[in-house]
């Protein structure tokens, strides 16, 4: 049996088979067709929207790849007030969004109390939306408070599942074991959990991607965020090359075949390295897009990587542009919470 057929029916391959699939473009079109078939079996032509609110670019961490790292003195820092955040939600709700993602650097200004108050306020105003947090590594007791306040989901990419590669991408005060522990804590507390990694990050080899797949098989997350690495001018990785479109698409298809039910975003980073990147992502197995709901005046400041798209338009324009893109790719946006279909 050929590799793609085998992956499609068994949802798994041997290490050697995964590496074979990852290392050539020979299977790309069959992979794409199989991935699209599987996504349509579970989700039809539906695409879910997540309204992304980037509420702070302060960060205490110093990840070598990220433009808002603490060690970047040239980052122009901002924080959104509760009123500004709720205003984004109101705009988003009027546009049909039923999930809000609060994402930021690890900013100690936002204490657990402040985060919980934000979550509660959003849930009070819009009881039928899902609230997703993406604010990094915390104690389990903090995650428990967020859950108690009504948060439904949590995005925390594991970044890479290999120790050596993790320490190549991060300073020594950050550890893979703690990042993984956070993901298991979040699962344990009943969050819908998102993990994931960048494609083509400096030092990444195919064996690391294989380890990522193996880790995801163990974790069984509800969401998997995958996008190309893109260098940022103010980071130690400024001269590294960006992740490839082809490999990112190949991995999206492989992930869809391993995890047919998974919520898989076609990321802004993918849309940044190719004009039709997000459309291609959808056609390769992705079923989620995360348009920016942040206030336009701050969008350029949430600069994780250079050249980020969608930093100029108003939220309504973003939605219209994306609707057209989703449609042109052959899918349809649905305005519901878009929970995972296990
Ligand atoms: N502080 C939060 C949110 C991080 S930003 C956290 O720790 O989870 C969201 C994601 O952007 C990161 O998980 C990372 O995978 C991605 N990212 C950061 N820098 C990037 C870059 N230069 N290129 C592409 N993606 C990047």
Tell me what pLDDT residue 313 has: 86
Q: What are φ and ψ of residue 265, in 5° steps?
A: -75, 145
As given in the structure block, the two tokens for residue 250 are 């190949």
Q: pLDDT band at residue 152, thresholds of 50, 70 and 90?
A: very high
pLDDT tens, 158-171? 999 999 999 999 99
Q: In angstroms, what is the span from residue 30 Cα to ligand 1's centroid?
A: 30
Task: Tell me the CA distances in angstroms from 336 to 15, 130, 153, 162, 176, one per residue in order.
Answer: 38, 9, 15, 36, 34
Tell me what pLDDT residue 130 has: 98
pLDDT tens, 286-296? 999 999 999 99
Task: Tell me the CA distances in angstroms from 230 to 14, 76, 200, 303, one per residue in order.
Answer: 30, 19, 9, 11
Look up the pTM and report it. 0.98
Q: Does residue 179 have a pLDDT over 90?
A: yes
* Mean pLDDT to the nearest integer, 107-130: 98
Residue 325 exposure: Cα atoms within 13 Å on the Cβ side: 25
The residue extents of the domains of the chain are 9-334
Mutate to test the pocket of ligand 1, among 53, 153, 157, 195 (most ligand atoms within 8 A of CB): 157
Tell me what pLDDT residue 48 has: 98
Other CB atoms closer than 10 Å to residue 176's CB: what's the count?
A: 20
| Distance from the Cα of residue 145 to its chain's centroid | 23
pLDDT tens, 187-245? 999 999 999 999 999 999 999 999 999 999 999 999 999 999 999 999 999 999 999 99
What atom of ligand 1 comes closest to residue 305's alpha carbon?
Answer: 22
Q: Does residue 1 have a pLDDT over 80?
A: no
What atom of ligand 1 comes closest to residue 135's alpha carbon?
Answer: 2
Tell me what pLDDT residue 211 has: 99
In whole angstroms, how large is the CA radius of gyration of the chain? 19
Q: Which CATH architecture has domain 9-334?
A: Alpha-Beta Barrel (3.20)
Tell me what pLDDT residue 320 has: 92
Q: In angstroms, what is the span from residue 155 Cα to ligand 1's centroid?
A: 11
Q: In angstroms, what is the span from residue 304 Cα to ligand 1's centroid?
A: 7
Cα–Cα distance measured from residue 242 to residue 239, given in angstroms and rounded to the nearest whole number = 9
What atom of ligand 1 comes closest to residue 106's alpha carbon?
Answer: 1
pLDDT tens, 76-85? 999 999 999 9
Tell me what pLDDT residue 45 has: 98
* Mean pLDDT to the nearest integer, 110-116: 98
* Mean pLDDT to the nearest integer, 274-294: 97
């Amino acid at each position: 049996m050929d590799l793609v057929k085998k992956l499609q029916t068994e949802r798994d391959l041997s290490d050697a088979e995964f590496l074979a699939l990852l290392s050539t473009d020979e299977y790309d079109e069959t992979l794409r067709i199989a991935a699209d078939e599987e996504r349509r079996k579970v989700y039809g032509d539906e695409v879910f929207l997540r309204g992304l609110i980037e509420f702070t670019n302060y960060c205490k961490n110093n990840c070598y790849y990220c433009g808002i790292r603490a060690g970047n003195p040239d980052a122009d820092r901002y924080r959104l007030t509760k009123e500004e955040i709720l205003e984004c939600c109101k705009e988003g709700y009027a546009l049909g969004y039923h999930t809000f993602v609060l994402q930021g650097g690890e900013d100690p200004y936002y204490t657990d109390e402040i985060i919980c108050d934000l979550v509660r306020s959003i849930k009070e105003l819009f009881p039928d939306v899902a609230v997703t947090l993406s604010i990094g590594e915390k104690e389990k007791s903090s995650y428990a408070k967020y859950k108690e306040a009504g948060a439904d989901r949590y995005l925390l990419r594991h970044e890479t599942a290999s120790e050596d590669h993790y320490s190549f991408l991060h300073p020594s005060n950050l550890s893979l074991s703690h990042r993984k522990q956070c993901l298991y804590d979040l699962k344990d507390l009943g969050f819908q959990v998102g993990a994931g990694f960048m494609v083509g990050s400096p030092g990444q080899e195919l064996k690391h991607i294989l380890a990522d797949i193996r880790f995801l098989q163990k974790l069984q997350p509800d969401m998997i965020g995958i996008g190309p690495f893109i260098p940022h001018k103010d980071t130690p990785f400024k001269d590294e090359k960006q992740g490839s479109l082809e490999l990112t698409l190949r991995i999206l298809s492989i992930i869809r075949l391993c995890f047919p039910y998974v919520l898989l975003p076609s990321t802004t980073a993918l849309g940044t390295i190719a004009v039709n990147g997000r459309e291609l992502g959808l056609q390769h197995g992705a079923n989620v897009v995360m348009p920016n709901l942040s206030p336009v005046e701050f969008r350029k400041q949430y600069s994780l990587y250079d050249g980020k798209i969608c930093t100029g338009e108003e939220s309504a324009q973003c939605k219209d542009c994306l609707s057209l893109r989703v449609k042109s790719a052959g899918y349809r946006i649905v305005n519901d919470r878009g929970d995972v279909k296990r």
